[in-house]
Amino acid sequence: MTHPAPVDVPTRDLFRLDGRTILLSGGAGAVGLCVGKAILESGGDIVLLDVAQSPNAAQWEDIEETAKINNTKAFYYQADVTEAETIPPLFDRIREDVRFPLRGLVACAGISGEGDAVDYDINVFRKILDVNVTGTFLVAQAVGRDMHRANVTGSIVLIASMSGWVSNRGINTSAYNASKSALHQLTRSLAAEWGHPQNTFPGSTPSDTNPNPSMEPRKAYPPIRVNSLSPGHIETPISEAARKRGLTDEWARQNMLGRVSQVQEFRAPCLFLLGEGSSYMTGADLRVDGGHCAW
């Protein structure tokens, strides 16, 4: 049986996230903090994960003040998303601390590295894929398990990039581009698995990942929607080096709006994908790039 459409949700509530906890990996970064604050303002509680031991003090104070004003809650945990063995016990802690089940994920954790392909350090290449792809999968997997455990619907947003659609003109970032293209495919694959039990044939062929496959029908769970969001170039504190090289001005000339985006411009797209306003959207990529890829 399919999950019913939320046709009775008032229009004013299509972007609301009341009674939900949303997890953000890379939560101490510019996008994570900005989107996290927007979630608090929309009625949701947030869990921020980041490799940093603690968030910036002034920014965290702003987050806590926002939570207080909106009667919401914010939690922060230090975590390396690539350390698979630490993820389950971390989620056990989170489950004990939060007041509402996890109903959403915004996977922001990611790194890049410029370098010519013929000289690219293979260890750096592997690290970028490990953080951007494997780390994203591990967090999405843990969130999916938690949603199944709580028997709730949910929405997962993987922060990809327009660089998963096109190569970055004038800057050599083959590992980053490959990783973001992989997130587009990971989005489609998870959306297919978690949208409806009939999306997967019964049983499976024996393999290293599934040595003793069952032929029983898979257990039915409420649907988890999975979409990706592909930003264009974003003005953030870490783009200072790009500004000094004149790259920011060049990037602005490469899109239809003639400017680089601001982190605040990704609040509404994330809220849309997390909330009931996008209830019939899954397996899709929402490209917010100022028309960069359409030119």
DSSP codes, 58-104: HHHHHHHHHHHHTT--EEEEE--TT-GGGHHHHHHHHHHH-SS-EEE
Of the listed 176, 221, 244, 280, which one is catalytic? 176
Tokens for 233? 């170039």
| Spatial distance between the Cα atoms of 148 and 100, rounded to a whole number of angstroms | 14
Contact predicate 292/254, CB 8 Å: yes
Taking alpha carbons only, the member of 116, 114, 107, 113 closest to residue 128 is 113
Of the listed 180, 221, 244, 280, which one is catalytic? 180
> What is the sign of the dihedral through the CA atoms of 194, 200, 203 and 209?
negative
| Spatial distance between the Cα atoms of 267 and 125, rounded to a whole number of angstroms | 30
Distances (CA, A) of 79 to 74, 82, 159, 197, 212: 16, 9, 18, 32, 32
Contact predicate 152/222, CB 8 Å: yes
How many beta carbons lie within 10 A of that of residue 109, not counting itself? 25
Backbone angles phi, psi at 20, to 5 degrees: -125, 150
Q: Give the E-state strand segments of the chain in sequence order.
A: 21-25, 45-50, 74-78, 102-107, 154-159, 224-231, 234-235, 261-262, 285-288
Active-site residue, 176 included: yes
**Is residue 194 helix, strand or coil?**
helix
- Catalytically active residues, by annotation: 176, 180
